[in-house]
Structure 1
Amino acid sequence: MTSRAWQATAYGEPGEVLELVERELPEPGPGEVRIRTTAIALNFPDVLLCRGQYQVRPEPPFVPGVECCGVVTAVGAGVDAVAVGDRVVGSLIGVLAEEAVLPAGSVFPAPPALTDAEAAALTVGYQTAWVGLNRRAALQAGETVLVTAASGGVGSAAVQLAAAAGARVIAVVGSAAKGELARRLGADVVIDRSSDDIVERVKAETGGRGVEVVFDPVGGDTYAAAQKAIAFEGRLLVVGFAGGDIQQIPANIVLVKNFSVVGVHWGLYMSKNPAVTREAHAALTELAASGVVRPEVTEVPFAEVPEALDRLAAGVTVGRLVAVVEP
């Protein structure tokens, strides 16, 4: 039997290098499960993988895709926590396919309260936001959080989770339409970076104090503005570099302003401390059941993945793009 997968044949823009191929149905090895995917969330790391710019750099040809929802169709030897027929979500490079094999430790029960498309978008972005805000920043109710790229995948998750934790949320977006999404997700204040000065607005909104927590997946100049907007003993979370420029962090400013710069690399928890990922998933499932957390998704056909990733790369999407796989 065969199944289809999107394969990057070289490094470049998704629309130029992705090719839909037929391949032999993958078989799970010991400790692995095979999933028939029903929905695959599209992420900026998929763009970086295609370009050869991600921290993990598989050699072409390879299959990108980092998170999905689906049904378990086979399990390998030694797997007893997951069974054939289970509806699950999972995260691993290589899931942009109709059938994907993942380590059993990388899959979680799909939240019953969410559709397949919504559930597919719950793992990477939401767990990153949960770990960053709750574990790395120790966010407290009543604190103010500045979220950059607040309408993107991980940024929109951070807005929802910060609001759910009782924080005041200041969202930075790039357009009026993206500002509307941030407000729907729970932002108290929206800053349009195309017309507003981030630092001046933050100081005005906080009485000159600054924000206790910055959640920054953008980097570059946005990080430079964020460190000017942070409060005494604030925590600045370095989540990614979607802006394309990796900033230099001047230690003298960290010292003089007395704030912390904290890295957030969620993927490391999968191997270094998987209990944290289980805790995060349980918390997110509970928040989804209560209606507090629900990814805002736009569904696209599986056949249109390259074009969708090109739109994501161009920064013109709002919320999450999810590829729906027909039965």
Structure 2
Amino acid sequence: MKAVLIDKFVPDVSQLKLSSVPSPIPSASKPIRVRITHASLTHVDNLYAQGLHQNNQRHVKPPFILGTEFAGYVVSAPSSSSFRPGTKVFGGSLGAYAEEICIDEANLRKPPSRWTCKEACAMGSSGAISWGALVSVGKLKAGEWVCVLGAAGGLGVVACQIALALGANVVAVVGGEKKAQVMKRLGVNAVVRYDDPDWEKRVMEATGGEGVDVVYDSVGAVLSSIKCCAYRGRVIIVGFAARGGQVEEVKMNRILLKGITVVGYRFGEHGRRFPDETQAIWREFMNLVETKGIKPIVYDREYIGLEAIGAGLKDQASRKSWGRAVMTVTEEEEVKTTIHKDSGTTISRL
């Protein structure tokens, strides 16, 4: 099968190329085989390709297949599995930039029937990450103010929807007019632009001068987050997408003076250490999807075929995209035509 194989780290993602690799074989630890239709283009994948992520020092070392989030259809599964062949699924696992993947059941989910594979892929783990950050860690309540930094990104667009669904007031901070329009369509209470030199003041003004109760920070602007907080505010750090590898230093007296709580939330590590909690987070988020209509936001540029990986990750790194950029690996209809509707939804010709 075709895949984006990292046999050595690359200094520039435009150098990524396709390789021919053996198709995955189901195992006891990864018994479910999936034909991938779509894969997300994420900041983590950019870092993994270049060897710049902390996991590259541990369990993500060459050779490995790049890609962390995907959607597609189950090809085969054990008889004990709740995922039958032909089931539409989305999931998260290293190896998503390939035509097929084998995965364990805990990291695979069924999307709502109204979502296409592309939409399910765009949602990915963003919803569970944002629910865990805002609710499990941030204790966000109805009526509170939350500031979402990087609001138009793959994580931010879902975080804004979750906060609104919970009855919170949302200030969305974004990096351009197109992204501002995306936020306005989602119904946030206020939109602030990073290119305003006084953007932290604009956040404060949106709350009547008091500041926000919670900051959801996926870009790595901790000092700005503290400035935007009300007294005893909570800052939840979920990533450093805008730091270029340079993590800021913050004088601790700023935390003391406002009584701020600053918490880091690593969804992947949390899941490895506390799998039961993570499964509960997933259930709560998917329930919110059904009851409050949380929806995937898909960037409107098309990336067709695994060959588009270089251009896709370049666009992601330059912050051109809003919502989640998604690459089409195999057209969904092409995979669906291989499903025999009259024979137990068994997939053939894969």
Q: What CA distance in whole angstroms lies between the structure 2 residues aligned with 1:132 and 1:45? A: 18
The residue that corresponds to 2:238 in the other structure is 239
Matches within 5 A, 1:186-265: 186-219=187-220, 222-244=221-243, 245-265=246-266
The residue that corresponds to 2:320 in the other structure is 316
Moved more, 304-313 or 284-293: 284-293
The residue that corresponds to 2:114 in the other structure is 113
Q: What CA distance in whole angstroms lies between the structure 2 residues aligned with 1:170 and 1:8? A: 39
Q: What CA distance in whole angstroms lies between the structure 2 residues aligned with 1:258 and 1:79? A: 51
Q: What CA distance in whole angstroms lies between the structure 2 residues aligned with 1:151 and 1:104? A: 30
C-alpha displacement at 1:181, in angstroms? 0.8
Q: What CA distance in whole angstroms lies between the structure 1 residues aligned with 2:119 and 2:19? A: 26
- What CA deviation, in whole Å up to 9, does each residue of 1:70-126 have, x standing for no partner? 1122336x9534333322211112111110122222112222221111111223222
The aligned amino acid for 1:22 is S
Change over 3 Å in CA distance of 1:275–1:225 after alignment to 2: same
C-alpha displacement at 1:291, in angstroms? 5.9
1:47 aligns with 2:35: no
Is the CA contact 1:13–1:47 (under 8 Å) kept in the aligned structure 2? no
The aligned amino acid for 1:262 is V
The residue that corresponds to 1:173 in the other structure is 174
Q: What CA distance in whole angstroms lies between the structure 2 residues aligned with 1:218 and 1:88? A: 29
C-alpha displacement at 1:290, in angstroms? 4.4
Q: TM-score, normalised by structure 2?
A: 0.86
Query: How many corresponding residue pairs?
Result: 321
Is the CA contact 2:236–2:262 (under 8 Å) kept in the aligned structure 1? yes
Is the CA contact 1:27–1:101 (under 8 Å) kept in the aligned structure 2? yes
Identity %: 31
The residue that corresponds to 2:131 in the other structure is 130
Moved more, 210-219 or 104-113: 104-113
SS at match of 2:316: helix
Change over 3 Å in CA distance of 1:140–1:275 after alignment to 2: same
Moved more, 283-292 or 101-110: 283-292
Is the CA contact 1:173–1:193 (under 8 Å) kept in the aligned structure 2? yes
The aligned amino acid for 1:25 is S
Q: What CA distance in whole angstroms lies between the structure 2 residues aligned with 1:291 and 1:133? A: 16
Is the CA contact 1:218–1:241 (under 8 Å) kept in the aligned structure 2? yes
Q: What CA distance in whole angstroms lies between the structure 2 residues aligned with 1:150 and 1:74? A: 38
Runs of 4+ with >4 A deviation = none
SS at match of 2:123: coil
SS at match of 1:320: coil
Q: What CA distance in whole angstroms lies between the structure 2 residues aligned with 1:101 and 1:300? A: 23
Q: TM-score, normalised by structure 1?
A: 0.92
- What CA deviation, in whole Å up to 9, does each residue of 1:169-198 have, x standing for no partner? 101111111101111223211111112512
In the alignment, which of 294, 301, 304 is matched to residue 301 of structure 1?
A: 304
Query: Over aligned residues, Cα RMSD in angstroms?
Result: 1.8
The aligned amino acid for 1:47 is N
The residue that corresponds to 2:72 in the other structure is 70
The residue that corresponds to 2:35 in the other structure is 36
Change over 3 Å in CA distance of 1:40–1:279 after alignment to 2: same
SS at match of 1:117: helix
5+ residue gaps, structure 2, are 335-350
Q: What CA distance in whole angstroms lies between the structure 1 residues aligned with 2:165 and 2:3? A: 37
Matches within 5 A, 1:78-117: 80-117=81-118
Q: What CA distance in whole angstroms lies between the structure 1 residues aligned with 2:141 and 2:99? A: 41
Q: What CA distance in whole angstroms lies between the structure 2 residues aligned with 1:325 and 1:269? A: 29
The aligned amino acid for 2:241 is A
C-alpha displacement at 1:63, in angstroms? 1.4
C-alpha displacement at 1:287, in angstroms? 3.4
Is the CA contact 2:81–2:105 (under 8 Å) kept in the aligned structure 1? no
Is the CA contact 2:165–2:292 (under 8 Å) kept in the aligned structure 1? no
